[in-house]
Amino acid sequence: MLEKYKKHQFLFEELVKRDFKKKYKRTVLGMGWSILSPLAMLLVMRLVFTHFFGRTMPHYTTYLFCGNLVYAYFSESATQGMTSLLGNAAIFTKVNVPKYLFLLSKNCQTLINFGLTLAVFFIFCLLDRIAFTWKFVFLLYPVALLMLFNIGMGLVLSALFVFFRDIQYLWSIFSQLLMYMSAIFYSIESFSPAVQYAFLLNPVYLFIRYFRKIVIEAAVPSLAFHLLMAFDAAAVLLLGCWMYRKYNTEFLYYV
């Protein structure tokens, strides 16, 4: 494993550099936009839901930001990851390289974006008079799992995208649905207990919920909650790895 990593380290670094340059090269704002865009989103939501829908939850801005933060990272990783394999078809049909490198390179980029947004998030927490407790350390858990979950999702989607090009459109509809189901701007407490349990089936919601628990309620979720998240991440990651392994030499028929 380590030997394999060493062997492809140079290629991986060059791929990350390439993806970075291609994304930011000819934009004036460059990486600044990556911070501004979630902030603008937050502002819009905040305006709409407090002024038009009259939400008066304590720390509502932080509540919203938790949702946006997690969902934006997930959605960006998924949509960018989806095209990572097909976009590099010219390379993997000519050179024998591990195909997951292309996805990991994209994920590096979205992780950096997430890191930047997370920094802004903590500044907003300060402004929202959130008490920073030692429990914030627990945030490492959802962040690490979300990373794995996103990689898994990217593997699955990028493999599917090679076989079925319309996955792109189906996914954009599905991710809309997922967004509305993730309780980003509303609270699930008004639903019946059965419906509330149903929300636990949505992995993205779990990550958002974890963030809110730690940041707003200063409470650590239960062990079962931790395990459920780990299960989701592992399941998706394993599915993705299995697909890449199974179709490793099949992809090139479809490009």
Partner 1 sequence: MSIIELKDVSIRYKVGDFKAIGLKDYVIRKIKKDYHVQEFWADRHITFSLEKGDMLGIIGTNGAGKSTLLKAISGIMKPTEGRVRCQGNVAALLELGSGFDGELTVRENTYLRGAMLGYTRSFMNDRYDEIIAFAELMEFQDHPFRQLSSGMKSRLAFAIASFVNPSILILDEVLSVGDGAFRRRSEKKMMEIIRGGATTLLVSHSLEQVRALCSKVLWLHKGEQLAFGENVNDICGRYQDFLDRR
Residues that bind partner 1 (CB under 8 A): 7, 10-11, 13-15, 17-18, 21-22, 25, 90-97, 163-167, 170, 249, 252-254
Closer by beta carbon to partner 1, 67 or else 240:
240
Terminal CA-to-CA distance of the chain, rounded, Å?
Answer: 29
For 228, other C-beta atoms within 10 Å of its C-beta total 16
CA angle 24, 145, 126 (to 5 degrees): 70
Shortest separation between residue 73's beta carbon and partner 1, angstroms: 25
d(C-alpha 95, C-alpha 89), whole Å: 10
Task: Return the amino acid letter for 194.
Answer: A
C-beta separation of 159 from 85 below 8 A? yes
Distances (CA, A) of 168 to 80, 100, 158: 10, 19, 10
Closer by beta carbon to partner 1, 157 or else 216:
157
For 243, other C-beta atoms within 10 Å of its C-beta total 18
Shortest separation between residue 242's beta carbon and partner 1, angstroms: 17
Closer by beta carbon to partner 1, 1 or else 140:
1
Closer by beta carbon to partner 1, 116 or else 252:
252
d(C-alpha 248, C-alpha 54), whole Å: 52
Shortest separation between residue 152's beta carbon and partner 1, angstroms: 20
Shortest separation between residue 151's beta carbon and partner 1, angstroms: 21
C-beta separation of 50 from 163 below 8 A? no
Shortest separation between residue 243's beta carbon and partner 1, angstroms: 15
Closer by beta carbon to partner 1, 167 or else 215:
167
Closer by beta carbon to partner 1, 1 or else 223:
1
Shortest separation between residue 185's beta carbon and partner 1, angstroms: 31
